[in-house]
Chain A
Amino acid sequence: MIAKAPEIEFRRVSKRFGAGPLVLDGLDLKVSPGEFICVIGPSGCGKTTFLRMVAGLSRPSGGEIRFDAQADGTRPELAFIFQDATLLPWLTVLGNIELPLRLRGEPRAERRATAARLTAEVGLGAVGDYHPRQLSGGMKMRVSLARALSLSPDVLLLDEPFGALDAITRNRLNEDLLALHRREGWTAFFVTHSVTEAVFLADRILVLAAEPARVETIIPVDLPRARTLALRESDEFHDAVAEATRRMHSVLAR
């Protein structure tokens, strides 16, 4: 099930809220289909705002975002994973995962089957009938991930999804996320505060600065695409993290 991920082009995209300062100023970027972009930068620099504009939850104040060079603003299938899992507490794990399909009017039997498959894929097969209050933070994020994948999205937007989790859970989820990405081929925008996480996941890292509010730099990550937790032990990986950190600091300190 390879998604028909679009090419996404940002043309001089800027954003300000009301009469406030510019949150984003003239962002130019071209993202290839299936690319994994991590977004990093200090708190308040506009990472969430950037994701919300891609999702269409917020409009750019200037410039435009084009999907497959279409100017009419039509969007591919997008899924948003919020910082907290945003599950509906009255639905079970399966009920939450099938929700997007239910909203699309998919017949009950089919959406149940899809939800059951996704539940197993994110490793929650045993807790399909649990309610969110019975789940740990990591399990909730897995449900959120499975729900996002239920519509076979073309683009996945993740806003610091694993920020509140412990390192072990986080690493495991990162590895699972990459495996899913390799298989399904969606384009990902992943906001994080961790350079290590960004290097592990990304094809390119977008560094945003707070003041002035512009794209400071784009750091390509030259690591093989098939990444596993073993890679994290390698010198190659440590070098890449050190290099990315150095470049990030040199631009943010300016």
Chain B
Amino acid sequence: MSPTGTWREYIGWPLLFGAGLLGLWYAVKGIFALPAYTLPAPHEVLGALFDQRTALARAALATAKGSLAGFSAAVGLGFALSLLIAAFRVLRIGLYPYVLFMQMVPIIATAAIIVTWLDAGLPSVAAIAFLIGFFPVVASTVAGLHSVPSEQVELFRLYKARPWQELFLLRVPSSLPYFFTGAKIAATLAVIGSVTGEIFAGSTARGGGLGFMILIYKSSVNTPGIFAATLLCCLLGFLFVGAVLLLKRFFLRKWHDSLDTDFNPL
């Protein structure tokens, strides 16, 4: 908690603004007399969420699985590749530029390609979630592995540290804050990537996720359903990012300063 605020403020203001936004939502709907299939009211979205609770819960679980698989692979393999890039100059010079380049590939394009390669369903969804998170993890971690203060590197050289000691005892710990920044990006993108994948792979997906449900609701003009599924996507993303931040806090709490800004923007 920041010394500039109290819990009451941190809960009160968001509630107040949330109420204001909901009011605005109702107002727009009322003024333009919009029907539910154009813009459902908040209570209609909650209604759809309730009506469709079994289908949506199953879908959310499927999306969570795909996201988690993709995210874990992105973080694990991303960290491993970062270590290799830090350890071998050739990779840093030759390969790293392509990592930076690959970050620019739009998700939609990745999804379109992956779906033509892999079976629809979990494998392709996870692959998309992986691809979208992998490059940010590598980019941040490599940046972290190379932004060690030069005096610390000299200290290690002076003490005749071996290259692997410099990597694992200096560069790796020093890069952890950067790694977690990358992991946080990957967590957000994993859910977005999964849903995108599901929308592409939707027609053949069995036990499809939230993206698949969005397709179904779209074809039956169930706009409140689309809103409900979208709401679940956001909640899922929040959950993922929250988990990464908790892990970051667990690992870095003792020595790293900039933690509180993750939970508290002030």
B-side residues, CB < 8 A to A, are 149, 151-152, 154-162, 165, 169-170, 173-174, 176, 252, 254-257
- Chain B residue numbers with a CB within 8 Å of A89 are 255-256
A90-B255, A132-B255 are known contacts. Are A103 and B152 too (CB-CB below 8 A)? no
For B152, list chain A residues within 8 Å (CB).
86, 88
B158→A80 contact, CB < 8 A? yes
- For B154, the closest partner residue in chain A by CB is A57
Complex alpha-carbon distance, A57 and B160, angstroms? 12
Is A108 interfacial (CB 8 A cutoff)? no
B165 to chain A, nearest CB (A): 6
Contact A133 B173 (CB under 8 A): no
Asked if A88 and B173 make an inter-chain contact with CB atoms under 8 angstroms apart, the answer reads yes
Chain A residues lying within 8 Å of B161, measured Cβ to Cβ, are 103
> Which 5 pairs, one residue from A and one from B, show the smallest C-beta to C-beta distance?
A89-B255, A90-B255, A90-B173, A103-B161, A100-B159
A133 touches B255 (CB 8 A): yes
Bound form: Cα–Cα A150–B129 in Å: 49
CB-CB contacts below 8 Å: A64-110 with B: 78-80, 82, 84, 86, 88-90, 99-100, 102-104
A30 to chain B, nearest CB (A): 24
Number of interface residues of A (CB under 8 A): 21
Residue from the set A57, A82, A100, A103 with the largest chain B CB neighbour count within 10 Å: A103
Q: Which residues of B contact A132 (CB under 8 A)?
A: 255
**Measured CA separation A79–B160 after assembly (Å):** 11
Instruction: Determine chain B's interface SS by DSSP, over half rule.
Output: helix
Q: Which of B152, B159, B161 has the most CB of A within 10 A?
A: B159
Closest chain B residue, CB of each to CB of A159: B151
- Evaluate contact between A133 and B157: CB separation under 8 angstroms: no
Residue positions of A touching B, CB distance < 8 A: 55-57, 78-80, 82, 84, 86, 88-90, 99-100, 102-104, 131-133, 151
Cβ-defined contact, B165 with A103, below 8 A? yes
A151 and B159 within 8 A (CB)? yes
Q: Are A103 and B255 closer than 8 Å at their CB atoms?
A: no
Name which of B165, B170, B254, B257 has the most chain A CB atoms within 10 A of its CB: B254
Q: A131-B255, A132-B255 are in contact. Are A86 and B158 (CB under 8 A)?
A: no
CB nearest neighbor in B for A131: B255
The docked-state distance in angstroms from the alpha carbon of A81 to that of B165 is 21
A85 nearest in chain B by CB position: B151
The contact sample of 30 A-B pairs, CB cut-off 8 A, is A55-B158, A57-B157, A79-B158, A80-B155, A80-B158, A82-B151, A82-B155, A84-B151, A86-B152, A86-B155, A88-B170, A88-B173, A88-B174, A89-B255, A90-B173, A90-B174, A90-B252, A90-B256, A100-B159, A102-B169, A103-B156, A103-B159, A103-B160, A103-B161, A104-B159, A104-B160, A131-B254, A131-B255, A132-B255, A151-B159
Considering only CB atoms, which chain B residue lies closest to A87 in the complex?
Answer: B152
CA distance A78 to B157 in the complex (A): 11
Question: Bound complex: CA of A56 vs CA of B157, how far in Å?
Answer: 10
Distance (Å) between the CB of A83 and the closest chain B CB? 9
Chain A residue nearest in CB terms to B165 = A103
Residues in A whose Cβ lies below 8 Å from that of B169: 99, 102-103
* B156 proximity list for chain A (CB < 8 A): 103
Alpha-carbon gap, A90 to B256, bound state (A): 8
State in angstroms the CA–CA spacing of A84 and B149 once bound together: 12
Least Cβ–Cβ distance between A188 and chain B, in angstroms = 16
Complex: chain A residue closest to B170, CB-CB: A88
